[in-house]
Amino acid sequence: MKAPPNRPADYPELAKGIQRNRRLPDDSLGALWESIILDEKLKSQLLSQAVLNFTLRSKVDRAVIPLHGVILLVGPPGTGKTSLARGLAHRVAQSFSGSTFRLLEVEAHSLTSSAMGKTQRAVTELFAQSISEAAASGPTIVLLDEVETLAADRSKMSLEANPVDIHRATDAVLVQLDNLAERHPNLLFVATSNFPEAVDRAFTSRCDLVVDVPLPDKDACALILGDCLRGLAKTFPAIGKLASPADVSRCASECVGLDGRAIRKMVANALASSPQVAMNPETVTAADLLNAAKAAKAARTTKEASR
């Protein structure tokens, strides 16, 4: 694949709905990919599907394999779906040595409006103009975070909250996905959703792959803890001693049921277990970690019980 011509760094950042626009590969995003603890077979499948998008779609008729260039990541909040999507974009670009990719991050909430017809028009302009122009200039990956905002399940809409406009906005997303799939084989959407049951089934049917990003099991919790503690030890070397297999295993058992983000924040809570530890993080103990993990899990259990 030939590298596309250089483009201005700010293209098309000023377009409504585009939150961020960056060149790929980007090593900082590669670090995100490595930080997400997920079954390696699942990661490999995800990367392989994304790479296939750029090697197959331009060469094989859609009547043979009807790829839309859409991957959907679903799962509970905090499991790293957005970070995984950003890291995936880097890894895909990295796979095509010498090629320059673009990552566009869409701010879905900025497209919604209570005024009749405005959401539909904003969605159409974003897809048909901004995203299409980017894809016309070279290989492009688009992150659609919280995609249920743009592709809400029409079968579950009530007569509240201007459902006609929301219905039309979902229609616009589906029409534009079809159009872009036909016109731009060098375009890949990576969408995320915390609430897959709220995503329109017609959108899901257009996805080439749906990946469930689960809460970490005990082994994954241990890997996340170990990674976090070793990272802290680069700044506070004494914390490295807490990464022993025995201490990590005990703490990981208490972390089951927490998402990866919550586990890392739990470590921060342990560092704030007292003013003394907060002033000198190297004095944190395995007991502090264990107590923080128990508190985080208890808080999560209470929150779920109240729903």
> 220-274: per-residue pLDDT in tens?
999 999 999 999 999 999 999 999 999 999 999 999 999 999 999 999 999 999 9
* Phi, psi at 22, each rounded to 5°: -140, 155
Domain range annotation of the chain: 18-212, 218-305
User: How many CB atoms within 10 Å of residue 78?
Assistant: 17
- Token pair of 23 as six digits: 């060149």
β-sheet bridge partners, residue 265: none
| pTM of structure | 0.87
- Token pair of 293 as six digits: 């993990």
User: How many CB atoms within 10 Å of residue 138?
Assistant: 19
CATH class assigned to 18-212: alpha beta
Give CA angle at 13 (7, 15), nearest 5°.
Answer: 115
Indicate whether 166 pLDDT > 80: no
pLDDT (0 to 100) of residue 161: 52
d(CA 258, CA 78): 9
Q: How many CA atoms lie within 13 A of 52 on its CB side?
A: 16
d(CA 245, CA 222): 8
pLDDT band for position 21 (cuts 50, 70, 90): very high
pLDDT band for position 7 (cuts 50, 70, 90): very low
- Quick one: what percent of the chain has pLDDT higher than 90? 77
